[in-house]
Amino acid sequence: MDGRRTVVEVASGSPPANGTVSVVQCVFCKQDNDRVVDSRSCGDGGLIRRRRECLACNRRFTTYERPELASRMVIKKDGRREPFNREKVLSGMRIACQKRPISSEQLSAIVDRLEADIFGDADREVESREIGEKVTEELKGIDKVAFVRFASVYREFTDVGEFVDALLPFLRGEALMKLQGNIHGDLARKVLLKKDVRNGSHPGSP
């Protein structure tokens, strides 16, 4: 039988080869005796997908392995420190992106880039403000509604004025696009008018 449930595990050390037995608890019978039947990298290679077969119940399930990284501490606004939590960042983005045309893969890619920045820095601490700004900028380029939702929570707008200030860049951008469209339309009409005059026809005549 083939199961579709998925568990996530953290990989450290050398990965098991196909056909070898490893210690991962079966999601069906909870036994920790299984073998890897298929392994392949996902995305940019930073994630490994393994198809496993439980030797106790013979059912199959999938695990995803991500390299274990040195811990990074997040400095909260009130000065408290807590370990960086990938799932916490994803959860916040999922809430902001509800009912928006944004895939889980896009959100995971954002967190991947965020982790690359954080863990690529020699500093072992990062301010929550910096994380919020990076996510906000990422969402700004993907979906305006998701950006405003996330920013309204992250930036903790205290009044309508602050909320409007966040929207102004988008409103100005849309207004500029409409203006450019009107200008192009006017230019096109002028070109057609000149062409009609040169041909000796009256503007608007069939």
Question: 93-121, pLDDT tens digit by residue?
Answer: 999 999 999 999 899 889 988 988 888 77
> In the prediction, which pLDDT does 11 show?
37
β-strands 125-127, 47-54: how paired? unpaired
Give the distance, in angstroms, between the CA of residue 178 and the centroid of all CA atoms in the same chain: 30
Of residues 195 and 34, more confidently modeled? 34
Closest CA to 139 of 2, 119, 131: 131
Average pLDDT score over residue span 26-38: 91
Nearest Cα residue to 34 out of 11, 10, 14, 18: 18
Q: Are strands 125-127 and 73-75 parallel, antiparallel or unpaired?
A: parallel
Task: Sort strands 34-42 and 47-54 into parallel, antiparallel or unpaired.
Answer: antiparallel
How is domain 2-67 classified at the CATH fold level?
SH3 type barrels. (2.30.30)
Most confident of 2-16, 71-85, 112-126, 176-190: 71-85
Greater confidence, 67 or 73? 73
For the chain, the domains span: 2-67, 78-154, 168-195
What are the angstrom distances between the C-alpha of 76 and each of 125, 175, 193? Answer: 11, 37, 63
Are 115 and 107 within 8 A, CB to CB? Answer: no
DSSP letter for each residue of 109-143 = HHHHHHHHHHHHSS-SEEEHHHHHHHHHHHHHTT-
SS3 (DSSP) at 155: coil
134 pLDDT band, cuts 50/70/90, is very high
pTM for the full predicted model? 0.53
Find the helix packing angle between 128-140 and 86-96, rounded to 10°: 40
Helix axes 104-120, 86-96, angle to 10 degrees: 140
